[in-house]
């Protein structure tokens, strides 16, 4: 039975035979390429899934790392660049979305990490507050490059004059989905590629 559940999670995350063959992974009609390049380094899709609120699909998310990881600790400790890519499936209020991100970070990050992330949290909140809404089809990425920081782009356009330098910010951001109180348990499993270590 457990093997069946794991297989189902892997299929739901889109990491079945297609991913093995290097084909794009499709989640809620959104395609995630099996690899991406960031700072001159090749990243692999660790997992992708859907954020549900009750039964409503809100957005898809995909996590790219230098090498695959099956636990939150492994993801956070993984060396090299990392990318979190989100594509909206429905319209949401920008200000409310920013508040949910802040709450998610505060609920999951260790206090010291969250405190060190405040600069980034405030800048992220400002970005979302400045937008009336995010609509279906909008997408944004948060790219982390060691030594440089986190860059945020919306629909392919950079939203920051310079990266958020604190490395704790990206870790706290990832904990929204990978922490002990994730936004969506199913999405946590999916981002960990159906290999989630309990």
- The answer to whether 181 and 107 are in contact (CB under 8 A) is yes
And the tokens for 39?
Answer: 């700072």
The Cα 174–Cα 96 span in angstroms is 19
What pLDDT, in 10s, does the model give residues 151-169? 999 999 999 989 999 999 9
Are 28 and 55 within 8 A, CB to CB?
A: no
Distance of alpha carbon 78 from alpha carbon 135, whole angstroms:
32
Helix (H/G/I), strand (E/B), else coil: 46: strand
Q: Residues 32-66: pLDDT tens digits?
A: 999 999 999 999 999 999 999 989 999 999 999 99
196 vs 73, residue with greater confidence: 73
Domains of the chain: 2-191 (3.50.70.10)
Q: pTM (2 decimals)?
A: 0.87
Task: Grade residue 174 by pLDDT with cuts at 50, 70 and 90.
Answer: very high
- CA atoms within 13 Å, Cβ hemisphere of 152: 17
């Amino acid at each position: 039975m457990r093997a069946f559940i794991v297989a189902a999670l892997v299929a739901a995350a889109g990491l079945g035979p297609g991913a093995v063959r290097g084909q794009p992974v499709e989640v809620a009609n959104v395609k995630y390429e099996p690899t991406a390049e960031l700072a001159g380094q090749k990243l692999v899709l660790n997992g992708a899934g859907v954020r549900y609120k009750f039964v409503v699909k809100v957005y898809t998310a995909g996590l790219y790392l230098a090498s695959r990881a099956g636990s939150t600790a492994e993801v956070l400790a993984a060396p090299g660049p990392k990318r979190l890519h989100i594509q909206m499936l429905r319209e949401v209020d920008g200000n409310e979305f920013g508040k949910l991100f802040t709450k998610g970070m505060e609920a999951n990050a260790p206090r010291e990490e969250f405190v060190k992330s405040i600069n980034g949290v405030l800048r992220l909140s400002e970005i979302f507050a400045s937008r009336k809404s995010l609509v279906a089809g909008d997408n944004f990425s948060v790219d982390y490059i060691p030594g440089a920081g986190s860059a945020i782009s919306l629909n392919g356009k950079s939203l920051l004059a310079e990266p958020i330098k604190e490395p704790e910010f990206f870790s706290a951001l990832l904990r929204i989905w990978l922490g002990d109180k994730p936004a969506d348990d199913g999405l946590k499993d999916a981002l960990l590629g159906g290999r989630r270590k309990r």
